[in-house]
Structure 1
Amino acid sequence: MNLALWTAAALLAVVALTGGITKTFVSKDTLAAFHGGGWTGDVGVGFVKTLGVLELLAALGLILPAALAVAPVLVPVTAVCWVVLMIGAMITHGRRGEFALAGLNLIYLALAAFIAWGRFGPWAFTA
């Protein structure tokens, strides 16, 4: 199970890193042109960049605390924060009628919930 939790965290970290780099370093107009990026037209540049930075931090928070054995409790805390972020993403895509993207967000939410459950519960990192 530990391997499954590490794998889920790694997959989610890649998703967060990809989204974070894109939202942080790609212009809002370019993002709006991508499939699923239309929501960026409804919000300010600062909001998009803030989400990007949060996703970059999530990518780090899912892996580094446990890998470095420094405050490993941050791994499940980050996973819970990702769940909240995905709820917002699902609402946003659902309102826009982008149900396939909302479904993808649900998969990411499920991965994060699995990580939070496992790392807060039976497979928590011990000090």
Structure 2
Amino acid sequence: MANSNSSKWLNITLWLVQSLLAAMFLMAGANKLFQSISELAKMLPWVVSVPVGLVRFIGISELLGGIGLLLPAILKIKPTLTVWAAIGLAAIMFLASFFHISRGETSLISMNFIFMGLALFVAWGRTKKVPISAKL
């Protein structure tokens, strides 16, 4: 009984974390993909020092990752894609932290590590503890 109750709460927590991460990455990805570089530079000064194509690629990756955190799990179609989306977003955050370190922006990496940790929590939880079963 206690194990079932803890699984229930872990499942709720995972859905909450997935939803919050998805919202954040969908918003961040949409901004990087659809805003002009000059507008984006007001919030993210680094975008003027990298190729526009890289900014747009990161935006697409974040958008797809945000969708992947929720849609496969909600529809129960290939729910392992949710795990892969979480791993991919964790990788983006890991690489972003090195990028910020290389630019001397060490104050920014704490958020990268928080988002990376949350994404890895989702990957772990949806792989080991409360996996989502595919629709038959």
Assess same fold via TM > 0.5: yes
Matched, 1:13 2:18: no
Query: Which digits, 9 at most, give the CA deviation of each residue in 1:1-46, with x for residues without a partner?
Result: 0001111100100110110111011111222222xx1221221111
Q: Which runs of 5+ in 2 are unaligned?
A: 1-9
Q: Report the Cα distance in structure 1 between the residues aligned to 2:29 and 2:36, rounded to whole angstroms.
A: 13
Question: Deviation of residue 47 (structure 1)?
Answer: 1.0
Question: Deviation of residue 97 (structure 1)?
Answer: 2.2
Query: Which digits, 9 at most, give the CA deviation of each residue in 1:88-107, with x for residues without a partner?
Result: 11111122222232100110
Consecutive aligned runs of 4 or more in structure 1 exceeding 4 Å deviation: none
Superposed CA RMSD in Å reads 1.0
Matched, 1:87 2:98: no
- Asked whether the equivalents of residues 86 and 109 of structure 1 are also in contact (C-alpha less than 8 Å), the reply is yes
Q: Which runs of 5+ in 1 are unaligned?
A: none
Q: Report the Cα distance in structure 2 between the residues aligned to 1:22 and 1:100, rounded to whole angstroms.
A: 22
Alignment correspondent of 1:67? 74
Query: Which digits, 9 at most, give the CA deviation of each residue in 1:98-127, with x for residues without a partner?
Result: 223210011000000100001111211123
Matched, 1:100 2:101: no
Work out the number of aligned pairs and report it: 125
Q: Report the Cα distance in structure 2 between the residues aligned to 1:7 and 1:99, rounded to whole angstroms.
A: 28
**Which protein shows a greater Rg?**
2
Q: Report the Cα distance in structure 2 between the residues aligned to 1:47 and 1:66, rounded to whole angstroms.
A: 29
Structure having the higher helix fraction is 2
Q: Report the Cα distance in structure 1 between the residues aligned to 2:26 and 2:129, rounded to whole angstroms.
A: 27
Q: Report the Cα distance in structure 1 between the residues aligned to 2:59 and 2:33, rounded to whole angstroms.
A: 5
Matched, 1:115 2:122: yes
